[in-house]
A = this chain, B = another copy of it.
Amino acid sequence: MKIDRTILKSLPLFERMTDADLDSMLQHASPRRIVPGDAVFEQGARAKSFFLLLHGRLKVTQVTQDGQQIIVRMVHPGDLFGFAMALRREDYPGTAVAAAESLVIAWPTDMWPRFVEQNPRLAVTAMQTIGQRLEEAHTRIREMSTEEVEKRVAHAVLRLSKQAGRPVETGIRIDFPISRQDIAEMTGTTLHTVSRILSAWEAKGMVEGGRQKLTVTDPQKLLNLADGIRD
C-alpha cells in the first residue's frame, strides 16, 4: 500500500514541511491496518517504532501490578504516538489498542533524530504536542484529586464528544464503540458507577445510551454539571 503525501500535508504536524522532506519520510514509513481489539504495541515491549494515526481511534492503556487497567489517553487521527518516551525509554510505557478499525503509519524509532534534523520545526511541534499532553494530564490529576465521580465522568464525556463527536439528529454521537468499562477506566471508577450515572443522565434527557454507544443530547446541561452548576 502506498501513502500519498497530501494526506500528511493536511496535518498541522507536517504542514510546514517540503514535499521532498515528506517523501523522504514516507520512504521509511510502513502503513498498518489494525482491527478493533488488536494492539499496535504492547506495554513493556521494545520501542522499535513510533507512529502516526491516520484513521480510526486508539486507546492507550496501562495495567497495574495487580491487573487493573486504566486508559491513559485516546489517540485521534493526526496524532503522533508511541514516540515521546522512546527518546529516553527503551520500551513502551503503555499498550495502544484499536477501539475502531484504524490505519497507522509506523517509522523506525531511530529515524526520529534524522527527521528532526531534516526539519527542526518538527521538533518544536512535537514538543508543543507533548507539552499539551502534559497539561491535559495535569488537568486530569486535578480532576481526580478534587472532583467527585459524576463530575469526572461529565468531563470525560464532554472531552470525548469534542474530540470524537459526530453530529446526529438527536445530538453528538461518540464516533467509536465505547463501553461503560472504558469510561470507568478513563475516570478512575467502576463500570457499575458509570452505568448508574449514565442511566440517571438518560432519565434527565442529557444523553442517550446503548451498547457501546453514547450520544450527548444536551451538552449544556452536561457542561453545567461538569462546572459544578446545580440546577
Residues of A within 8 A of B (CB): 62, 64-66, 68, 70, 72, 84-85, 87-89, 93-94, 113, 116-117, 120, 123-124, 126-128, 130-135, 137-138, 140-142, 144-146, 185, 187-188, 227-228
- Within 8 Å CB of A146, what residues of B? 64, 68, 70, 188
- Within 8 Å CB of A89, what residues of B? 135
- Evaluate whether A145 and B142 lie within 8 angstroms (CB atoms) in the complex, with A88-B131, A123-B127, A127-B127 already known: no
Complex CA gap A179/B146 in Å reads 19
Do the beta carbons of A127 and B87 come within 8 Å of each other? yes
Expressed in whole angstroms, the minimum distance between the Cβ of A193 and any Cβ of chain B is: 13
- Within 8 Å CB of A131, what residues of B? 84-85, 87-88, 130
**What is the count of identical protomers in the complex?**
2
Do the beta carbons of B65 and A128 come within 8 Å of each other? no
Do the beta carbons of A142 and B65 come within 8 Å of each other? no
The secondary-structure label for the interface of chain A is helix
- Within 8 Å CB of A128, what residues of B? 87-88
Expressed in whole angstroms, the minimum distance between the Cβ of A212 and any Cβ of chain B is: 22
Complex CA gap A140/B123 in Å reads 26
Expressed in whole angstroms, the minimum distance between the Cβ of A40 and any Cβ of chain B is: 17
Pull 11 A–B residue pairs with CB atoms less than 8 Å apart, ordered by A.
A64-B142, A66-B228, A70-B146, A84-B130, A85-B135, A123-B127, A137-B138, A141-B141, A144-B188, A145-B188, A146-B188
Do the beta carbons of B72 and A141 come within 8 Å of each other? yes
Do the beta carbons of B138 and A72 come within 8 Å of each other? yes
The 3 closest A-B pairs by CB, nearest first: A145-B188, A137-B137, A144-B144
Complex CA gap A34/B64 in Å reads 39
Expressed in whole angstroms, the minimum distance between the Cβ of A191 and any Cβ of chain B is: 13
- Evaluate whether A130 and B132 lie within 8 angstroms (CB atoms) in the complex, with A65-B227, A140-B141 already known: no
Complex CA gap A138/B93 in Å reads 9
Expressed in whole angstroms, the minimum distance between the Cβ of A227 and any Cβ of chain B is: 7
- Within 8 Å CB of A187, what residues of B? 145
Known: A127-B130, A137-B137, A144-B144. 5 other contacts (CB 8 A): A70-B146, A113-B124, A126-B127, A141-B188, A146-B188
- Within 8 Å CB of A141, what residues of B? 70, 72, 137, 140-141, 144, 188
